[in-house]
A and B are shown apart, each in its own frame.
Chain A
Amino acid sequence: MSARFSPPELAGTDFEHPLLEVSLGPHHPSTHGVFRMDAALDGETVVKLKPVFGYLHRNHEKIAEKCSYLGSMPFTDRLDYMCSLTNNWGYALAVEKLTGLAVPERAEYIRVILGELTRLINHSAVVGFLLQDMGAMGTPLMYAFREREKILDLFESLTGARMMCNYMRFGGCRCDLPPGWIGQARGVAAKFPLFLDEFEALLTGNEILKARTEGVGVLTPELAVNAGVTGPMLRASGVNYDIRKVDAYGVYGRMDFRVPLGERGDVFDRYMIRILEMRESLKILDQALRDIPDGPILNLNAKLRNLRPKPGEAYGRIEGPKGELGFYLISDGGPNPYRYRVRPPSLINLTVLEDMCLGQTIADAVVILGSVDIVLGEVDR
């Protein structure tokens, strides 16, 4: 049951001024999953907003305590179901830290290629959905999904599945690239900038888009850093923090790319940062596809079954498309982890939703939610 909001102090006024309570309920036309916002409105302005989630809780962390380490890997696909490969990578990183396994170079390059492809599909879908929420009747969404399909076809020919890839293993990758895959990937990466140019021609200069997103949902850098916000939301507020540069995990240390930073931290900045990040991802893709060496794709000491890491703990994190995705594992020497914890970027980014929405109208609250880029699978696990 939702909590009742207490009305503001009336302090001797002559007439009542009650707040209109609106529940943008779990069944939402423009939601990103089953998510609810309890808002108190003064006319059209949002006075209080409480996000309510948990409708998609699936006991992911508890299941991992009963499954073996390998058995948890398919479940990580289903966390942020738009970006399954980066979830796999985060988990594989954590277990590799726990067990001390090294990853061969070819596998690292494959991981980078797939990670950047995942970033492309996530950002194009997010921009499409943001415009859909703004009422653009699905046209940018359809264009974005047309490009996404090409990348999903690449995933299918490599990993066997379009979305639930289950591809990374502890110490490398599950199977090697089929012949011709690199050529196909190069073809996709060559056509993507044209799509981005068309997309920007449709959207970036559009006066209506600018009017709806400029100055809306401003997030100050201080608040972002204090709240633990990460990912494109943080960089749109101007804070320079990209885990690919900070940790330089995988072979990102060898890649030449820039990190775009926003100025004002409003919805337009977040949209623009995602477009710029897509362009940088294409640069990384070109370099990785050019430089990928031959060799083994799995560490020879890697064990599939009966992996029993020594007792200890590890935290593996990656720069996922939505933010810092982290996996914290405590092992007690058995085949199952003692504690398995996911740091969901969408959930942590959601905690500042109220601060961003205060003083805006209710129509803006929907647009702001779209720019936070949540996936309920990750928020609720």
Chain B
Amino acid sequence: MNGAGIIKGLVETARNFAGSYHDRERLTTVQYPEETLPPVENARTLPFLVYDGGDAMAGLRCTACMICEKECPPQCIYIIKDQARKPDYMGKMQLQPKVFDIDMSVCMSCGICVEVCPFDAIKMDQVFELSTDDRFAGLLFDNEKLARPNEYFRQLHKTEASEVDARREEEKRKAAAKAAAKPPLPGGVK
């Protein structure tokens, strides 16, 4: 028949029209900001620095090794080392960053800084509501703005955080067992 294709098309649109009133499949809009989509564990938007314990600056895992700065494709990380050292979770003395700036307007959320970091110090956050009217400084995040506690990391990326924590606990336990198994040196010298 001549107009059959057009009629089939009209039936299709009518079906979607009627379906939009009772079928969630036919009306998939999520009315942001009143409704939000459930967070996805693996999602990544922008990086943040992880710290252990209560004090952000003292507990920062970052040791200013400069690997993330070197590997970042758009070169948005800027680090200046601080010569004062602090102990890490194993008791070893490490450097720390005096200045750790990330320009979020340049960051392209690739996650390479996270992949290459040997200290699990930088991880991907999931925030995206970061609009600001300060064009240059508004999106330039420094140490303090970037630092987030380990509990935050665990809340965002449960699997990854528990794996990182388990590994660090294992290493601490092994180091403690090794230290306990060593015979004490003569003269009470450790």
Contacts and interface: CB of A to CB of B under 8 A. Distances in A.
B149 interface: no
A67 B4 contact: no
A71 B108 CA distance: 11
B4 to A, nearest CB: 6
Interface of chain A, main secondary structure: helix
Interface stretch (B35-43, B129-137, B173-181): B35-43
Contacts of A164: 108-110
B71 A68 contact: yes
A314 B104 CA distance: 35
| Residue of B3, B9, B13 with most chain A CB atoms under a 10 A cut-off | B9
Interface in B35-54: 40-44
B18 interface: no
Contacts of B73: 67, 71-72, 74-75
Interface residues of A, number: 38
B28 A146 contact: yes
B12 interface: yes
A68 B108 CA distance: 16
A207 B3 contact: yes
A156 B43 CA distance: 6
A72 B108 CA distance: 12
Contacts of B127: none
Interface stretch (B83-91, B95-103, B111-119): B111-119
B5 interface: yes
Interface string B66-100: 01000111000000000000000000000000000
Contact of B42 (A77, A166, A178, A204): A178
Interface in A54-111: 67-68, 70-75, 77
A161 B2 contact: no
Contacts of B11: 201
Contacts of A178: 41-42, 159
A343 to B, nearest CB: 22
A77 B6 CA distance: 39
Interface residues on B, range: 20 to 34
A377 to B, nearest CB: 14
Given A207-B2, A305-B71, A160 B115 contact: no
A164 B71 CA distance: 18
B22 interface: no
A202 B71 contact: no
Interface in B49-68: 67
A75 to B, nearest CB: 6
A207 B6 contact: yes
B124 interface: yes
A9 B3 CA distance: 46
Contacts of A159: 42
Contact of B115 (A72, A158, A174, A204): A174
Contacts of B72: 71
B153 to A, nearest CB: 15
Contacts of A304: 115-116
B8 interface: yes
Contacts of A247: none
Interface in A187-226: 198, 201-210
Contact of B67 (A175, A201, A305): A305
A351 interface: no
B13 A70 contact: no
Q: Top 8 A-B pairs ranked by shortest CB distance?
A: A205-B5, A74-B110, A160-B44, A71-B73, A206-B5, A202-B12, A160-B42, A202-B9
7 contacts: A71-B71, A74-B112, A156-B40, A158-B42, A198-B12, A202-B9, A202-B12
Interface of B: 2-6, 8-9, 11-13, 16, 28, 40-44, 67, 71-73, 108-112, 115-116, 124, 159
Interface of A: 67-68, 70-75, 77, 139, 143, 146, 149, 153, 156-161, 164, 166, 174-175, 178, 198, 201-210, 304-305
Given A156-B42, A160-B42, A210-B5, 11 more contacts: A70-B112, A74-B108, A74-B110, A139-B13, A149-B28, A153-B40, A157-B42, A159-B42, A203-B9, A205-B5, A209-B5
